[in-house]
Structure 1
Amino acid sequence: MPRTRRAVIRAWIGELWLHRLVFLAVVLVLLLVRLLPLNTTAGHVPGPDLLICLIFAWMVRRPEYLPAPMIAAVVLVEDLLLMRPPGLWAALVLVGAEFIRSRSALTRELSFGVEWLLVAGVMMGVFAANRLLLGLAFVEQPAFGMGLVQILWSVLAYPAVVAFSRYGLDLHKPATGEIDERGRRL
């Protein structure tokens, strides 16, 4: 029986580490695209934060693939590259991701519309906490409207990121009673 290339790679690396490497590769591409000077004119509308969409989509579907240190490190590197105050956004995204992780059993049974509302609420909460903490520290911030537009774009981009994760990267919610490669229930 011939084995496909994907099956050979999964058997060699393992499902868990394969998805972690894929996540890091996608994050690297997102960071590189974000650093490219694609639109250098002033006053353009900010695009969605695809990294937070990707993290939250993966946390809803397979929270075991993204350990907390990996999320913190990835977002901290993004903070440093984008010259944001280091650590604050990483900590807030990590809190939001862990909030979603703690509800992984509940989100398995939710429809996509309710999941989308849950993730939108978490995104808004992370955005509001970031604005509040930066304001309390008297740190100069982008205009409120620009930040709000970016979060709204992120909420609207979430279904596309979920579709990419599901159909492009084969990341799905575990079915009830599904077991992993070690025989543990998911």
Structure 2
Amino acid sequence: MVRGPLADLWFRRVVFVFVAIFLFYLRLLPLGSVAGQWPGPDLMLCLVLAWVVRRPEYVPVWLIAGVILMEDMLLQRPPGLWTALVVVASEFLRGRAALMRELNFAVEWFQAALAMLALLLVYRFVFILTLMPQPGFGYAMIQMGATILAYPVMAWISRHVLGVHKPAAGEVDARGRRL
């Protein structure tokens, strides 16, 4: 069966949701019983940023907001705060997707790392303003460092396993517009 461009677009969105559900499952899975271990990377953030940079049309704002809000609920974070910050960061990178198409991966990784660090700092600043308890800054920085280091792995998986690549020159979207 031949899929048209619109069917491929929706197929990729469904794939994104299923990968997100798989990452939720991995995040909630008890992998160890020893307290005090190093925090793991935020793979969902890596996935969102990698897909937004590579193919922004696959992950519209409403899909990102819904998936991250579901993650907020599952991880018992303040609902909507992390969601809003991730949406702002993804829209920032979405606006630069056309510029980053011509640049190498190191620049993409650097832009994603800056967005991740900005997310962490604003998130913690809001927690400080509202006097909410939060984990230590060193712990959060270790997690963000792990997330930044995990970004190339998630970008590679997105490209080679899931087929989400930067658009080629002359490639068109579902409506026939150039990407």
User: Please, what TM-score do these two structures have when normalized by structure 2?
Assistant: 0.96
* Residue 13 of structure 1: how far off its partner (Å): 7.0
Please identify the structure whose Cα radius of gyration is greater.
Answer: 1
Which residue, 9, 30, 45 being the options, matches 1:37?
A: 30
Aligned match of 1:58: 51
Structure 1 unaligned runs (5+)? 1-7
Q: Among residues 129, 147, 150, which one is paired with 1:154 in the alignment?
A: 147
TM-score (norm 1): 0.92
- Deviation at residue 176 of structure 1 after TM alignment: 2.2
Query: What is residue 83 of structure 1 aligned with on the other side?
Result: 76
Partner of 2:125: 132
**RMSD over aligned Cα, in angstroms?**
1.3
Cα distance in 1 between the residues matched to 2:6 and 2:105? 31
1:121 aligned onto 2:123: no
Equivalent residues, number? 179
What per-residue deviation string (whole Å, max 9, x for no partner) do you get for residues 55-90 of structure 1?
000000000111111111111111111111111001
Contact 2:72 2:79 in 1 (8 A): yes
Instruction: Report if aligned partners of 1:10, 1:18 keep a CA contact under 8 Å in 2.
Output: no
Residues 3-14 of structure 1 aligned to structure 2 (within 5 Å)? 8=1, 10-11=3-4, 14=7
CA distance in 2, matches of 1:103, 1:13: 24
SS in 1 for 2:177: coil
Residues 1:12 and 1:152: Cα distance change in structure 2 (over 3 Å): closer
Runs of 5+ unmatched residues, structure 2: none
**Which residue among 88, 97, 101 is the counterpart of 1:95?**
88
Q: Quote the sequence identity (%).
A: 50
Greater relative CO, 1 or 2 (CA 8 Å, sep 6+): 2
